[in-house]
Amino acid sequence: MDHNLIISQWAQDNGFVLNKYNKNSMNIEEVSYKFSNLQELTDKMNSINILTMSYDAKLGLIKKTYFIKLKFNKDVIDDLIKEHIKTGNEEKDSNVYNYIQDVNLTNSITVPDLMDDSNYADSIEKNTGIWSYKLSQIDENTEINLVYSVRNYTMLICIFITLLICAGVGYYIKKIKNR
């Protein structure tokens, strides 16, 4: 694995940006993916098979609420790791695999507005959730769930304009009746 936890070529081939640095005597490897909408992200996540992503969006009167679910595929993650640690020595491969299983992983998800609900472990801001675990803790039941809402300013403006028009019409009618 060339002393890398994340396989650089795999990350690049799948459109991810890999950032490596040292912080507090730790080697940090960050993977990020920029996307323009949830459907694009869902398609990307589902195409790499490491996790399954689904979402639903509900449009309300003044906000749109998104329900997102990420479910990890432990078998694919294990296969990807094992595929890249083959040294020809079964005991050494097992030791490396066990070491990787003990590495702390952190997922940080930031949404455009406030998070309404989530199963995150921590939050650094009102719109960012953090999930932390070790690879060995991931199983077929490991999920990231979050719900967030985005204010529908267009609808709010329409309601405001409608109220102004109604008030104007009401004022005009009252003025005509008082003549």
pLDDT tens digits along 64-74:
899 999 998 98
Residue bearing the bigger pLDDT, 169 or 56: 56
Average pLDDT taken over every residue of the chain: 83
Tell me: the pLDDT tens digits for 43-62?
998 998 888 999 999 988 88
Long-range CB pairs of 21-29 (<8 Å, 24+ gap) are 29/4, 29/5
* pLDDT of 153 strictly over 80: no
Going by pLDDT thresholds of 50, 70 and 90, the confidence category of residue 7 is low
If you average pLDDT over residues 138-145, what whole number do you get? 87
Going by pLDDT thresholds of 50, 70 and 90, the confidence category of residue 4 is low
Q: Kindly provide the b/e burial profile for residues 59-72, where b requires at least 16 CB atoms within 10 angstroms of the residue's own CB.
A: eeeebeebebbbeb
Cα 82 to Cα 22, 86, 138: the distances in Å are: 25, 7, 16
Does this model's pTM top 0.75? My answer is no
